[in-house]
Each structure stands twice: as C-alpha cells, then as structure tokens.
Copies of this chain bind each other. A is one copy, B any other.
Amino acid sequence: MTAPITIVFPVFPGVTQLDFTGPYQVLVRTPVSSSGLTFSELARLEDVERCDVICVPGGNVVEAMLNKPLVANIRRLALGARYVTSVCTGSLILGAAGVLHGKRSACHWAYRDLLPIFGAIPDPARVVRDGNFISGGGVTAGIDFALTLAAELTDAPAPPLEAGRPDIAPGEVLSRVQERYAGMLAPHRAVAEQIAAANRRDTPL
C-alpha cells in the first residue's frame, strides 16, 4: 500500500469476532503489539496451573521457539493436558517443547519439513490426529481443526466439514441447521421491517 489506508471495523456487542478478525488478519498482518489489534483479558501463562487443552497458534515462531520460559510453560501444560494441539507453525513450538517426538503432526506446508528436527513426523493432511495430539495445517485449517476438537470435547458426531454451504450440505444437515435458524430469523425479520418502516416515515435516507 502506498499511502496509509484507514479501515474502520465497527465492533458491537454480539459481533461474530471472526467476521472481524478474519479480514483483519488478511488486511493487516499484525503481531500482538501496542498498536493495532491487541487482546485483553489474558492470563500469564506461568499462572495457569493446568488445562484440558493446550492449543499453540503459529506465526513468526523463531522468537517464540527461543523463549525458554514460554516453551517451558507450554511443555508443562502440555504434559498435563488431555489434548495437545496446534495450528500452523505452532507445531514447531510444540516441537521445541520436546513433546512431539514420534508424533504425526500438521504444519504450514512451507515449514513442514522442519518437524523431523524435533523427531516429529510431518503429515500433509489439513487436520492431523495422533492419539491426543491434534494439529491443523496452515492458518485457514484452523477452523476445521477446531471443529474436529469440538466434536472430540463434546461427544458430538463428526463435524460435517464438507457442508459449509446449503447447496452442498447433506439434506439432513441442512434441515437441522434450518430448524435451528428458524427461531433466530423471525426477530431479525421483525427488526428489519420495523427499521425499514420507520425510515420510510422519516426523511429519505
């Protein structure tokens, strides 16, 4: 971009965060920093005693792999977790933590060949499961990975990964989703009609 571009994302109570953070990721590839997007309500990793799942995201992981307290805390939590998981190059951090030895793992394709350095077995699948190790490939595999993990955590049936649009979803899946949406559609329609009617009465928009 030649000149700075100002983009406003109005974030409101009830917002679907990924509607914001997905485009944001593409438009401004940003680290957690004091400018741009930051996350709050974070806990210090060393203060987390245990967890059921540890999920290590990727990114620019050179600094993270060399960060001994970070890697030690990830190792500590991973050893006590029910599921040890990662997205993208997060698997390299798990490798650096010494917990991937002998495990099949996904990774962004451009960095996948580094896994054997940590004794891990690279797997090109979008979502890879080896016992209680579950990993997603590149960043866009993160959602499929999470659907797989969610099914595991909830005793839900396997996620319908190939059912993302009504025209390709199996009939049974589509019916169930339509039933669930039916109750939500009515209030949306009522509010939309109310606003449209009010606007017709007011000055033209």
Contact = CB atoms under 8 A, between A and B. Distances in A.
Contacts of A29: 16
A124 B163 CA distance: 16
Contact of A101 (B59, B73, B110, B205): B205
Contact of A74 (B10, B25, B53, B73): B10
Given A11-B57, A96-B195, A189-B117, A23 B181 contact: no
B39 A195 contact: no
A67 interface: yes
Contact of A52 (B5, B36, B53): B5
B117 A192 contact: yes
Contacts of A205: 75, 97-99, 101
Interface residues of A, number: 113
A195 B65 contact: yes
A87 B23 contact: yes
Contact of A165 (B38, B48, B109): B109
Interface of A: 1, 5-27, 29-42, 45, 48, 50-67, 70, 73-75, 77, 87-90, 92-93, 95-99, 101, 109-111, 114, 117-119, 136, 138-140, 142-143, 145-147, 149-150, 153-154, 164-166, 177-178, 181, 184-185, 187-189, 191-193, 195-196, 199, 205
16 contacts: A10-B57, A10-B70, A14-B59, A15-B64, A18-B25, A19-B87, A22-B22, A23-B142, A23-B143, A38-B39, A39-B40, A65-B195, A75-B205, A98-B199, A117-B193, A140-B143
